[in-house]
Structures are given as structure tokens and as C-alpha cells.
Amino acid sequence: MISSEETLQLIKGLHPGLFVNHILKLEHLKQNELATQIDIKPQALNAVLKAKRPMPLEMALKLEKRFGWHEGFLGQLQLFYDIKEHNRSDIKPDFTQFRRILFWDTDIDKMDWMRYKKSILERIKSRGNKEEYQYFKKFYRINEK
């Protein structure tokens, strides 16, 4: 069996809610059942399991106790996820590869290029040219056949 330290190294950067959600599926456990077991509101648990919000410390401690993980495991996972997201927010495309007018309504120097990937690609696809679209597919590492 893999220790929680080894598991942490394998999944470093993954949102802790996604990890717990995976465990729920493996154990055939429903979110509402788990929420009741650990005395957490189902809506709050659902938001964390879908990675729509960070995992609060209180929830992490209850989940760790419920699943028998060492104290701090999910907190560490949340920290590594936060670090990864912080580093991703610094990634910016080469502005010489597209017309800045495509983002006329946005301050592109302050834009979070990773967070808004989907809407950026939609805009480039609808308003950009073939070269700009190809550049952004490469920037986002999208391989379409």
C-alpha cells in the first residue's frame, strides 16, 4: 500500500476536492452520505468536490479523519494546488503573435490567460485568423486532428 506521503507526491497540484471525489467513486459512496457522516453541508461539499472552491481546513480535517489519512494531507494538497494555480496565472502568451485588437475590451496585460482559456479560444476562433488560432492552440497545448 502507498503511504499518504507517496500519494501526495503523485498527485501534487491536484485540487483536493477532485481527489476526494475520486475516492468516493472508488468506494461507491454518495456525496450526501459523506456530508452527513462528517457533518458538512452537502452544497459546500459539492462545491469543493467539483473544485469550484478551495477546501476549508475544517472540512479537510473531517475528511482526513473519516478516511484515515494523516492530519494535514488534504491541507498540503490544497497548498500545492494553490501554488500551481498561482504559477499558472503568471503564464502569458507572446503578444507579437496576435493582434491586440482581438481583446479590445480587456486589459491583456492583466488578463488571466489560463483561467479564461475557454472564452479566449472562442474569441480567437470567431474573430481571429488561422495563424492566431493555431498559435493559441499551441499556447494551450491543444492537439486537434
- Give me the mean pLDDT over the 48-58 stretch: 95
Per-residue model confidence (pLDDT) at position 87: 77
Tell me the three cell numbers of residue 125: 476562433
Show the 3-state SS of 88-125.
HCCCCCCHHHCCHHHHCCCCCCCCCCCCCHHHHHHHHH
- Give me the mean pLDDT over the 68-94 stretch: 87
Q: Is the predicted pLDDT of residue 1 greater than 60, yes or no?
A: no
The conformation of residue 70, written as its DSSP 8-state character, comes to P
Q: Is the predicted pLDDT of residue 60 greater than 60, yes or no?
A: yes
Tell me the three cell numbers of residue 69: 489519512
Q: Which one has a higher pLDDT value, 89 or 105? A: 105
Q: Cα–Cα distances in Å, from 97 out to 9, 130, 132, 143?
A: 36, 12, 7, 19
Amino acid at 35: A
Q: Which one has a higher pLDDT value, 86 or 19? A: 19
In angstroms, the CA 83 to CA 103 distance is: 28
- Give me the mean pLDDT over the 9-37 stretch: 94
Q: Is the predicted pLDDT of residue 56 greater than 70, yes or no?
A: yes
Q: Is the predicted pLDDT of residue 76 greater than 90, yes or no?
A: yes
At 109-142, the pLDDT tens digits run 888 888 888 999 999 999 999 999 999 988 888 8
Express as a percent the part of the chain with pLDDT over 90.
64
Please name the residue that has the C-alpha cell 477546501. Answer: 55
24: phi then psi, degrees, rounded to nearest 5: -60, -45
CA angle 17, 20, 60 (to 5 degrees): 70
* pTM (predicted TM-score): 0.64
**What domains are there in the chain, each with its CATH number?**
4-88 (1.10.260.40), 95-139 (no CATH)
